[in-house]
Amino acid sequence: MATVTEARAIGDDALEIVRVIDAPVALVFRLWESWEHAIRWWGPKEFTCTLFETDFRPGGAWRAHMVSDQYGEGRMGGVYREIVREKRLVFTFAWDEGFGPPLDTIVTVTFEEKDGRTIQTFHQTPFTDVAVRDSHIGGWASFVEKEADYAEALAKETAR
């Protein structure tokens, strides 16, 4: 089973990223629910997360700030709509005013365990147009790679 991130456009208004992560589902899911973990991996590889706040429950808000020498600052947030422990996470995503194109999307992340690894599928929709969708594919693919690197390092640490 490949561990390469597969990112692709789906129709004109959605994207999907599938990644096999060499870590159990319980650990990968914990990275999403805990600010102590999320602040260490949130954002594309060129970015450092400087703030991650979360009220991890349906109806709870989340907020993140990230910065890059090359790309500047990004601020975003949203609300958790659905949380099914170690199975599914649904939340809204929008850039804060002035930090990205106007955007109000739904992100769905699903988690499936297979042979001690996690198959994580990231889906985001609807985008206002193809260009906006395409501008997110590379960033989210890098984001998922950074998450996978962090999860796999933690899994190796806990296996010792």
pTM over 0.85: yes
Residue 8, pLDDT score: 75
Residue 2, pLDDT score: 44
If you average pLDDT over every residue of the chain, what do you get?
92
pLDDT band at 9 (very low <50, low <70, confident <90, very high): confident
Please report, for the chain, the start and end positions of each structural domain, with discontinuous segments joined by +. Answer: 6-159
pLDDT band at 134 (very low <50, low <70, confident <90, very high): confident
| Neighbour count for residue 143 (Cβ, 10 Å) | 21
Residue 146 to residues 58, 74, 152, Cα–Cα distance (Å):
26, 17, 10
Q: Taking residues 34-61, what's their average pLDDT?
A: 96
CATH among 3.40.980.10, 3.30.530.20, 3.30.460.10, 3.30.300.130 for 6-159: 3.30.530.20
